[in-house]
């Protein structure tokens, strides 16, 4: 802190006197130049005068200057405090430093100076902490050193400086670039997840790549890419299924034979459209692909708006022209003509027609963002009352009703369109005219005046406009302006709406299933062998009881079918031996089995109880199971024992695709119900007022059985090995199985019924009052009976003999039934029902101790997996058709060179589904 000296030396007094005597120049507000000395002030100018003021004026000015500096310093100090409270420490430091520079360094401001120095220290410490967070350690240290230079006793600055120099508290590797990269990574991660939530997966993946370029080991970015890839995989899987279905449909369609059909006289469909030129397709593609980021139009003429579109096309390097056809003024009425002899009365009123120039279309207000040029042009035309057409060289925009350019358009209409008009002469006359020329026709018939008919319908024909109808082809050709062509189209549409309509309903029932089974297991048989020299301690496997499934001798390699068993000369025995014929291959293994607890084959993968019953001949057989088939075996024989290893495994894949597609045409409203004359039909209800189609096979089965009967009687003599007929005998009962007593019928196949509500002329939605579809399949039989056996004494034992199987077979049917009342847009397809089922089974069995050994333990394990997936979905397509079977939607659209905008030409058929 600076202090003023208490004494003034002689040298200082001398210098002050010299300074006071030196003149200094100063310009006042009037432009005069004045010089001041200790003796006075002189003014140079037209009215220069000399005035003497003395040393009092110098003191006054100095005080005013110091006061102004002090006020300015106080203002800066207050601004610094405000910034400090708002945690804007760097700004606060700048304000405090500016206040320090402004404040006069005098004893009177000593307290203010101390306060400013304290504020500078606090702000410097705060800024240094911020610098330390972003890795600017050098700048932070310099600030703290400056604080200590001003105030060496600042303990807070000393502590912060020690913390700053501590490498444990502050990472020396932290740099401002790293902090900037961290902020950029956070921003990009947020942006990438935003793209992901919007479904813009490509942009999201690229954004995550940008994160990895900055931080190659960023796990969040990799997780984001994983999520994007999973969503794209889901889409690609769906696209694969869709393309697979389409490809199979195309293959089946190759079997269809296209037969020519005679066109009826009430033909109502439109003719085939003429091909659109490549230039028009190119211009339409440009309109759809060109994107505009932001549009803000207010009270802008259409011509200026098109200038904006031209500029956007140039920015995108697209050669696309926009032309505005200005409306033409209507022709003035001819002036009244007077003869030379006629006189004009001054009071006679003369009618004067004032021709007003048409005004250009104005766009009142239009604000949109991120829109295609095609959508923007349509919105501009809608709000300004304009239309546009796509030509080969440009996009032409014109005001509705102002275009004088004429086009040609054709419609295919029946003769009744003209017969019903007031100008027609009668239908019988037309038929007679057709017979006169053999039905060939040579243009418009004399009795059919297409021009007069259309004029009566309110269509204007001016200049070269014309209308012709050909009776041979049924084509109405009109040459007129676009507005009048639209009027013709409306007249034809109004007439066609009076014709009856029907509804074609096509249903597609799709069921896809996939079954994958994989297994790899091992079975071991170890016959007991001696483990000591005395031969009284043996080690080996156990019997096969308790194993699942039960291992039989037929599941292993026996000596009866092996050449090694016959050629072996050692003292040991083959692990499995049935050469003596005393054992049965279906008998459970007697001893040596080590892996009886490992599940395999059907014992590992459990199927549904119902499926198990269906796949077996009886309930007893359904409980049996068998291991997986063997792949290879390893057998070892030594003097005191033997062993055998069987590797079992399978890899099976099975896919079943079922598609049923019934189709039916019906009129709206209720139909007369006709009951089925077959009394055995099981589906006799629910048809009242509904259209119905059945593609079924009637399955007749027994629904009730009489109980079995057993009668005792009869004599049988049984022979023994000594041919002694007297050693056996007795009466054997006679049993009759259960017999069917009642029968039933089940319709197996597809049954579809529906009832369409009355159609509305103003709506393209088809409403169903009732819609049912049922698919019934036969799965198999389940035997609810049990065999009837009898015990017969033979020599010294009782032998059980099956008298009858006594089968009571009852069928099992699977039903898929949907009952709904949907609303479907004309020509579109919706899914009204579906089912997705996924069944996964995994088996991991191991032999204790042995199965836990590394590497070798795999030979004592059984791993199996079964994955069953099913997907069922029902699609329904509803379409309005006319009596010729052709769709009624878009049938009123004429064909030719007339513009039909806004309607871009399509390269794909209008099948009601999404096109790529």
pLDDT band of residue 225 (cuts 50, 70, 90) is: very high
Lookup result for tokens 């994958």: 516
Mean per-residue pLDDT for 108-132? 80
Q: Write down the residue that tokens 């969040």 correspond to.
A: 220
Classify domain 272-328+358-399 at the CATH topology level: Phage tail protein beta-alpha-beta fold (3.55.50)
Read off the pLDDT of each residue in 531-554 and give the average, rounded to a whole number: 74
> Which pLDDT belongs to residue 211?
92
| Euclidean distance between CA atoms 424 and 414, whole angstroms | 14
Percent of the residues in the chain that have a pLDDT greater than 90, as a whole number: 8
Q: How far apart are CA 75 and CA 614, in angstroms?
A: 97
Residue with the bigger pLDDT between 688 and 208: it is 208
Q: What is the per-residue pLDDT for 573?
A: 64
| Cβ neighbours around 380 below 10 Å, total | 23
Q: Is the CATH number of domain 176-230 3.30.1560? A: no
pLDDT for 195: 93
Q: For residue 465, what pLDDT is reported?
A: 84
pLDDT at 61: 84
Residue 712: per-residue pLDDT: 63
Q: How far apart are CA 682 and CA 815, in angstroms?
A: 14
Lowest mean pLDDT among 210-214, 411-415, 741-745: 411-415
pLDDT for 197 equals 93
Q: Which residue would you say has higher pLDDT here, 201 or 5?
A: 201
706-715 pLDDT, tens digit per residue, is 988 887 655 4
Residues contacting residue 435 through CB under 8 Å, at least 6 positions apart: none
pLDDT of residue 194: 93
Q: What is the structure's pLDDT at 687?
A: 60
Q: Evaluate if residue 272 carries a pLDDT over 80.
A: no
The helix/strand/coil state of 87 is coil
Instruction: Kindly state the average pLDDT of the residues 512-537.
Output: 84
Least confident of 147-156, 456-465, 607-616: 607-616
Q: How many residues make up the chain in this entry?
A: 916
CA–CA dist 745, 244 (Å, integer): 37
In this prediction, residues 444-461 reach a mean pLDDT of 74
CA distances from 639 to 115, 559, 590, 644 (A): 107, 16, 20, 15
Give me the pLDDT at residue 440, please: 36
Residue 316 DSSP SS3: coil
C-alpha separations of 401 from 146, 268, 388, 897 in Å? 82, 29, 12, 18
Residue 551 has pLDDT above 90, yes or no: no
Whether the CB-CB separation of 144 and 128 falls below 8 Å is answered with yes
Domain ranges of the chain: 176-230, 272-328+358-399, 407-500, 520-564+580-653
pLDDT for the residue numbered 782? 87
Q: What is the pLDDT of residues 732-757, one digit of tens each?
A: 678 888 899 999 999 998 888 888 88
For range 226-253, the mean pLDDT: 85
Indicate whether 31 pLDDT > 60: no
When pLDDT is cut at 50, 70 and 90, the band that residue 680 belongs to is very low
Peptide bond into 499 cis (omega under 30): no
Kindly report the backbone phi and psi dihedral angles of residue 476, in degrees, each rounded to the nearest multiple of 5, phi listed first. -100, 120
Tell me how far the alpha carbon of residue 643 is from its chain's centroid: 59
Other Cβ atoms within 10 Å of 490 Cβ, number:
14
- Supply the pLDDT for residue 161: 77
The average pLDDT across 95-106 equals 81
User: Measured in Å, how far apart are the chain's first and last C-alpha atoms?
Assistant: 81
Asked if residue 789 lies in contact with residue 800, where contact means CB atoms within 8 angstroms, the answer is: yes
Q: Which residue has the higher pLDDT, 45 or 364?
A: 364
Q: Which are the contacts of 731, defined by CB distance < 8 A and separation ≥ 6?
A: 712, 713, 714, 715, 716
**What average pLDDT does the chain have?**
74
pLDDT higher at 914 or 460: 460
For residue 9, the model assigns a pLDDT of: 56
Each residue of 377-389: pLDDT tens digit?
A: 989 988 888 888 8
Q: Are 885 and 500 in contact (CB under 8 A)?
A: no
What is the pLDDT, as a whole number, of residue 744? Answer: 93
Residue 441 or 628, more confident: 628
pTM of the model: 0.44
CB 892 within 8 A of CB 492: yes
Q: For the segment 864-910, what is each residue's pLDDT rounded down to a tens digit?
A: 998 888 888 888 888 888 877 778 776 555 455 444 433 333 333 34
Question: Is residue 205 scored above 90 in pLDDT?
Answer: yes
- The pair phi, psi for residue 39, each rounded to 5°, is -80, -25
Q: Which of 613, 609, 621, 588 is nearest to 787 (CA)?
A: 621
Q: How confident is the model at residue 206, as a pLDDT?
A: 92
- Of 831, 825, 787, whose CA–CA distance to 808 is shortest? 787
Q: Is residue 550 predicted with pLDDT exceeding 90?
A: no
Residue with tokens 């009430």: 266
pLDDT at residue 290 greater than cutoff 80: yes
Q: In a 3-state reduction of DSSP, which class is residue 725?
A: coil
Q: Which of 657, 655, 608, 610 is nearest to 873 (CA)?
A: 657
The answer for residues whose C-beta is within 8 angstroms of residue 811's C-beta and 6 or more apart is 699, 701, 746, 778, 779, 780, 781
């Amino acid at each position: 802190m600076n202090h003023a000296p208490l004494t003034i030396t002689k040298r200082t007094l001398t210098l002050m006197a010299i300074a006071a005597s030196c003149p200094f120049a100063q310009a006042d507000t009037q432009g005069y130049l004045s010089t001041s000395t200790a003796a006075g002030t002189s003014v140079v100018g037209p009215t220069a005068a000399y005035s003497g003021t003395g040393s009092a004026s110098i003191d006054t000015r100095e005080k005013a200057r110091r006061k102004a500096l002090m006020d300015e310093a106080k203002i800066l100090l207050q601004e610094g405090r405000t910034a400090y409270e708002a945690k804007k420490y760097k700004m606060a430091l700048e304000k405090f430093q500016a206040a320090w520079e402004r404040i006069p360094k005098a004893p009177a401001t000593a307290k203010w100076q101390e306060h400013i120095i304290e504020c500078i220290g606090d702000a410097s410490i705060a800024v240094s902490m911020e610098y330390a967070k972003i890795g600017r350690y050098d700048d932070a240290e310099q600030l703290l050193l400056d604080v200590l230079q001003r105030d060496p006793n600042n303990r807070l600055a000393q502590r912060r400086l020690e913390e700053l120099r501590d490498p444990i508290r502050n990472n020396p590797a932290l740099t401002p670039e790293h902090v900037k990269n961290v902020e950029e990574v956070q921003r990009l991660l947020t942006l990438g997840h935003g793209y992901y939530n919007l479904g813009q997966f490509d942009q999201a993946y690229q954004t995550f790549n940008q994160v990895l370029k900055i931080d190659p080991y960023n796990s969040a970015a990799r997780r984001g890419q994983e999520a994007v890839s999973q969503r794209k995989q889901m889409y690609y899987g769906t696209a694969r299924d869709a393309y697979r279905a389409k490809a199979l449909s195309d293959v089946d369609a190759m079997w269809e034979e296209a037969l020519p059909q005679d066109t009826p006289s009430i033909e109502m469909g439109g003719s085939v459209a003429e091909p659109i030129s490549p230039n028009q397709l190119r211009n339409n593609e440009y309109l759809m692909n060109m994107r505009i980021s932001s549009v803000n139009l207010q009270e802008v003429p259409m011509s200026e708006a098109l200038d904006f579109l031209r500029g956007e096309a140039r920015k995108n390097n697209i050669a696309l022209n926009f032309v505005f056809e200005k409306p033409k003024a209507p022709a003035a009425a001819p002036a009244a003509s007077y003869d030379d002899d006629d006189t004009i009365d001054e009071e006679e009123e003369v009618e004067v027609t004032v021709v007003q120039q048409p005004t250009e279309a104005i766009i009142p207000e239009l604000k949109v963002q991120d829109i295609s040029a095609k959508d923007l042009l349509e919105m501009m035309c809608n709000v300004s009352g304009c239309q546009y057409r796509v030509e080969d060289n440009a996009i032409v925009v014109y005001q509705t009703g102002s275009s004088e350019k004429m086009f040609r358009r054709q419609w295919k209409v029946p003769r009744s369109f003209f017969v019903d008009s007031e100008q027609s002469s009668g239908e019988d006359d037309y038929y007679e005219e057709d017979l006169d020329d053999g039905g060939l026709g040579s243009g418009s018939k004399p009795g059919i005046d297409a021009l007069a008919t259309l004029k009566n319908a309110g269509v204007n024909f001016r200049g070269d406009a014309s209308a012709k109808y050909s009776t041979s082809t049924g084509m109405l050709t009109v040459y007129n302006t676009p507005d009048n062509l639209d009027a013709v189209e409306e007249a034809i549409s109004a007439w066609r709406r009076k014709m009856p309509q029907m509804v074609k309903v096509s249903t597609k029932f799709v069921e896809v299933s996939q079954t994958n089974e994989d297994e790899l297991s091992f079975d071991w048989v170890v016959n007991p062998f001696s483990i000591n020299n005395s031969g009284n301690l043996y080690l080996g496997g156990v019997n096969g009881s308790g194993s699942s499934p039960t291992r039989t001798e037929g599941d292993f390699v026996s000596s009866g079918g092996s050449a090694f068993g016959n050629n072996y000369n050692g003292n040991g025995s083959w692990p499995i031996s049935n050469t003596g014929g005393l054992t049965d291959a279906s008998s459970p293994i007697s001893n040596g089995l080590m892996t009886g607890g490992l599940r395999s084959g059907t014992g590992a993968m459990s199927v549904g109880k119902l499926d198990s019953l269906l796949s077996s001949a009886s309930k007893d057989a359904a409980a049996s199971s068998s291991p997986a088939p063997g792949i290879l075996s390893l057998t070892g024989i030594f003097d005191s024992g033997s062993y055998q290893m069987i590797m079992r495994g399978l890899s099976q894949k099975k896919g079943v695709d079922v598609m049923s597609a019934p189709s039916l045409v019906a009129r709206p409203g209720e139909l007369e119900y006709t009951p089925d004359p077959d009394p055995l039909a099981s589906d006799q209800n629910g048809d009242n007022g509904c259209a119905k189609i059945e593609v079924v096979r009637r399955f007749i089965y027994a629904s009730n059985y009489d109980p079995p009967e057993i009668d005792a009687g009869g004599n049988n003599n049984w022979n023994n090995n000594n041919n002694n007929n007297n050693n056996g005998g007795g009466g054997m009962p006679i049993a009759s199985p259960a017999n069917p007593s009642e029968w039933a019928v089940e319709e197996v196949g597809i049954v579809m019924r529906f009832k369409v509500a009355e159609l509305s002329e103003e709506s393209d939605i088809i409403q169903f009052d009732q819609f049912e579809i049922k698919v019934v399949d036969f799965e198999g039989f389940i035997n609810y009976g049990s065999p009837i056996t009898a015990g017969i004494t033979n020599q010294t034992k009782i032998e059980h003999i099956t008298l009858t199987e006594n089968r009571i077979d009852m069928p099992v049917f699977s039903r898929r039934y949907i009952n709904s009342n949907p609303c479907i847009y004309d020509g579109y397809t919706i899914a009204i029902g579906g089912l997705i089922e996924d069944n996964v089974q995994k088996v991991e069995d191991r032999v204790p101790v042995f199965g836990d050994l590394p590497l070798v333990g795999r030979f004592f394990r059984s791993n199996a997996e079964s994955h069953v997936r099913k997907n069922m979905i029902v699609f329904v397509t509803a379409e309005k058709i006319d009596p010729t079977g052709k769709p009624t939607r878009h049938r009123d659209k004429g064909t030719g060179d007339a513009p039909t905008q806004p309607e871009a030409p399509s390269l794909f058929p209008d099948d009601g589904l999404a096109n790529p």
